[in-house]
Structure 1
Amino acid sequence: MKFKKTILNNSNLVIVLTSQLLFQLALWIGLIGNLQFLQKNVESHLLQSIFLVAGSVFSVIIGPYAGRLIDGVAKKHILLTVGILRMISVGFMFIALMTESVWWMLAYSIGVSCSASFFEPALQAIIVEITEEKELIIANSLNLNIVTLSRIFGATMGGLLLTVASLYLLYAISFGAFLFVFMITFLLKIEDAGFIREKKKKVEFKEVFSVISKRFDIKMMLLLSIIPTIFIAGFNLFIVEISSIQNNPSIKGVLYAVEGISLILSSTFISKKINHKTRIYSLLVTSFFIVIVQFLLSFSNILLFPIIAFVLFGFSYGIFNPVFNTLSQETIDNEFHGRFFSFKSMIDRTLLQISMVSIGLLLDMIGFEKVVITFGFLSLFLLLTVTVLYFRKEHTKNRRENITFHHNWNKKL
């Protein structure tokens, strides 16, 4: 009943989640196409990696502008403009296929990545506007599930399509998905003229920093989010290393599957049962589980341990992500949502690239076991630091409240 009320009776949410599904599927299908195109036209692995991450670099650079625009202009207009940019980007890819030029492929990657810099924060800002507060965590859980399923099925579909069809058809499917998303965006019914038009003021990206600095809980959440982000950065590299340790290529599929299933189950059935008072504690507990995951991977020579580790990570992140987004949406004023989620996206993308390169380098230097133990201790140190600061802050807050209460009581007497 709750699912029906949350989704089927909320046409705006159906449109937003459908847009997310199609966008993510097209994104992953296109990524598989990019890998195939690069493998064919670029021999150097270093150059291949540079072309793959270049789009993310540009998306980080335009992050502040994206955040300002999302908060300053009607979000529906943002989604429509982004839809046009995506379709133009696919056009660049068709030129790349005709000319076999990696530079046109780079233009495609930059265009799609930059569109994501607008699309994701705008979507987070819209979800809170079109969903009742008590059902917000359900909407965020569904959004995470869609992203996860799209990652699994999009990559699978892209791989299968390459065995029976050309790259032209692959990108034609992506173009069709982007076109459909563009068309259904017109059906969105949200009253949002943008905060620039409402308040007649200039929107500055740096204003979000003062908002964050005043909220200890937001700073704490951002610090905690580093723990799963670092693990996600090494996700694929860890799986490759585990399959080598096990000398079993089929373990890759098992680990991807158990992580995805565990994530979907926890985000669907558990995260929405966490009430407002226990959400901060759930972030601390799931961060601790992710620390345990990293130590468990040091025993990857035993088949059961990496499987347990990836089940535990999926379970933990399936709770962490929707709870984090829900708390952020509820705590931060609507007029800062675009800038906050753009800032969060910039942090994630930068941290992912730095961590990915660092993990790859460390794997060559010290080996898999020492890498996961090192990151485990670093994550544990960060978690303990945040936990101590949080409980110290809570203790100080409670003490002040008690002093105020006794002071007021004595005045009444």
Structure 2
Amino acid sequence: MWKNKNVWILLTGEFIAGLGLWLGIIGNLEFMQEKVPSDFVKSLILAAGLLAGIAVGPLAGRLTDQINKKKVMLVSGAVRTFSVIFMLIAISTGSVWWMVVFLVFLQVSAAFYFPALQAAIPLVVEEKNLLQMNGVHMNVSTLSRVLGTAVAGILIAIMPLQGLYELSLAAYAILFLLTCFLKIDEQNSKPVQAHSLSKSKSGFKDVFPIIKGLPIVLMTLILTLVPILFLGGFNLMVINISELQDSTAIKSWIYATEGIGFMIGAFLVKQISLRSSPYTILFLFSFVIGFSQMLLYFATIPLLTVLSFLVFGFAVGCFFPTAATIFQTRVPKEFHGRFFSFRNMLDRVSFQVVLLMTGFLLDTMGLQLMAVIFGAFSLFLSTLFYFKFKQVRADMKVTNNAS
């Protein structure tokens, strides 16, 4: 795997783009803290971009299955680079509306880029290396987040906010150039593309029977809602914790600690998978995520706050590479574009609902009580789906014995 040039291009591009992304995210939080006093209004602003990404989801899935995935990544990368210009206008004018335009373009480009990326990974590495590749790819992404937030925390104190976005634009431009050097062999999928071109107008309708016929895929899709319950309002919670503790430094500590926890989890998940089944990993760490949410009841104590995000980071570091590998190996490759676009769209809908809910609950009941409610709900979902999975597995054994 490490001799594959495409692997190094994807990993290097992810690292550089991740730096740009997190410089921009810290900039977004700083801009909203200055211009928008209400947590709920902040959530509405962030939700605007997510809604745009959801709207183009079906089109993104069809195009990813119909045309070359590298082309999809290049066009979406160009749009992402161009979108930063709108944020520079927002800073110069002090207008939140230009920030909304920036978020819309950014999320639309992401709606095309990430399904194409997920569909491209199985085409550049062998199936036996997928879990390792997913873990390393997510680790590189997390490392860029840790460094990006740390660097942003330093730069925001010594340079204008505009400078963060200029660096972000440069990072996106470098990712675009690196993507030009990708060589993806899609020969095996071309006959399928020609065959499915006429029926692909139905979009996600072709994917639903596949998901329904693969219980392991359906269960994994449902379980991904548990970490999203934490991640959806992540940035709002970080802002709220910063205000609760009257500390700007805690934001960088939270992002860095959660990122380190994620990297440790993604590094160790390969070893854990040698001793445990994928569903043991998924169910175990969905319970751990619920526990980490409950721990935020003590959000006024910096040490316990950092511990909560460290535990959460480790849990999702094990959870997401396992889920991604299941999707890439169990779903037929000719449906990857539509499936990953559907999953991306489902994640965005979930993110939007959780984002709005988080903003509303932070304004009405505060972080600590909200954390207990979210944690209890996560534990309930994990328990419910765990017993449902056991029932499905028992039914399958009975069916196999009968046949």
Same fold (TM over 0.5): yes
Deviation readout 1:204-244 (Å, 9 max, x if unpaired): 32211221122211111111111111012243444555566
> Counterpart of 2:135?
141
Find the partner of 2:193 among 187, 196, 200: 196
Corresponding residue of 2:20: 26
Q: Scaled by the length of structure 1, what TM-score is found? A: 0.85
* Pair 366,84 (structure 1): closer, same or farther in 2 beyond 3 Å: closer
Deviation at 1:141, TM superposition (A): 0.8
Q: Give me the whole-angstrom Cα distance separating, in 2, the residues matched to 1:163 and 1:302.
A: 25
Residue 208 of structure 1 pairs with residue 207 of structure 2: yes
One-letter identity of the residue aligned with 1:323: T
Q: Residue in 1 aligned with 2:73?
A: 79
1:185 aligns with 2:184: no
Indicate the residue corresponding to 2:297 in structure 1: 298
Q: Would the aligned equivalents of 2:150 and 2:252 in 1 still touch at CA under 8 Å?
A: no
Distance in 2 (alpha carbons) for counterparts of 1:270 and 1:225: 17
Gaps of 5+ in 1: 1-5, 405-413
* Structure-to-structure mapping, 1:357-368, within 5 angstroms: 357-368=356-367
Gaps of 5+ in 2: none
Query: For 2:184, what is the secondary structure of its paired residue?
Result: coil
Q: Specify the structure having the higher radius of gyration (Cα).
A: 1
In structure 2, what is the Cα distance between the partners aligned to 1:111 and 1:155? Answer: 22
Aligned Cα root-mean-square deviation (Å): 2.9
Count of residue pairs the alignment pairs up:
397
1:331-387, CA deviations, whole angstroms, 9 ceiling, x for partnerless residues?
001111122221222222222222122233224434444322222222222112211
Contact map agreement 2:87 2:99 (CA 8 A) in 1: yes
Question: Separation in 1 of the partners of 2:33 and 2:239?
Answer: 19
Percent identical residues:
36
Q: State the match for 1:68 in structure 2.
A: 62
1:290 offset after TM fit, Å?
A: 1.4
1:102 and 1:36 mapped to 2: Cα distance?
12
Residue 122 (1) aligns with residue 116 (2) = yes
2: CA distance, partners of 1:290 / 1:300: 16
- Kept in 1: contact 2:153–2:252 (CA 8 A): no
Could you say if the C-alpha distance between residues 275 and 64 of structure 1 is closer, same or farther in structure 2, counting changes exceeding 3 Å? farther
- Judged with a 3 Å threshold, the aligned counterparts in structure 2 of structure 1 residues 300 and 89 are, in CA distance, closer, same or farther, namely closer
How far off its partner does 1:39 sit?
6.0
- Aligned mates of 1:304, 1:287 — CA distance in 2: 23
Contact 2:61 2:342 (8 Å CA) reproduced = yes
For 1:33 and 1:81, the matched residues in 2 are separated by 25
Aligned AA (2:314): F
Q: Quick one: distance in 2 between partners of 1:243 and 1:94? A: 25
User: Bigger shift: 370-379 or 13-22?
Assistant: 370-379
Q: Which moved more, 1:325-334 or 1:297-306?
A: 297-306
2:230 maps to 231
Q: Structure 1 residues 134, 240: closer, same or farther in 2, change over 3 A?
A: same
Alpha-carbon spacing, 1:106–1:357, altered in 2? closer, same or farther (3 Å):
closer
For 1:375, the equivalent position in structure 2 comes to 374
Which one-letter code corresponds to 2:120 in the other structure? I
Residue 315 (structure 1) aligns with: 314
Return the letter of the residue paired with 2:142. Answer: T
TM-score norm. by structure 2 comes to 0.87
Partner of 1:407: none
Paired residues for 1:239-254 under 5 Å: 239=238, 251-254=250-253
Higher relative contact order (CA 8 A, sep 6+): 2
Listed one character per residue, the Cα deviations across residues 179-199 of structure 1 (whole Å, up to 9, x for unaligned) are: 222222221111226553465
Flag the 1:130–1:216 CA change in 2: closer, same or farther, 3 A: same
Tell me the secondary structure at the aligned position of residue 323 of structure 2.
Answer: helix
In the alignment, is the contact (CA less than 8 A) between 1:137 and 1:272 conserved in 2? no
- CA contact 1:29–1:158 (8 Å) conserved in 2: yes
Could you say which residue in structure 1 is the equivalent of 2:348?
349
8 A contact 2:84–2:102 mirrored in 1: yes
Query: Deviation digits for residues 32-69 of structure 1, max 9, x if unmatched?
Result: 444555566x4664655544432221011111111111
Please say if residues 139 and 263 of structure 2, whose CA atoms lie closer than 8 Å, have aligned partners that are also in contact: yes
Q: Assess, with a 3 A threshold, how the Cα gap between structure 1 residues 377 and 271 changes in structure 2: closer, same or farther.
A: same
With over 3 angstroms needed to count, the CA separation of the structure-2 counterparts of 1:130 and 1:302, relative to structure 1, is: same
Structure 1 pair 242/23, CA: closer, same or farther in 2 (3 Å)?
closer
Q: Structure 1 residues 154, 244: closer, same or farther in 2, change over 3 A?
A: closer
CA change 1:275–1:369 in 2 (3 A) is: same
For 1:242 and 1:91, locate their aligned partners in 2 and report how far apart those are by CA, in whole Å.
30
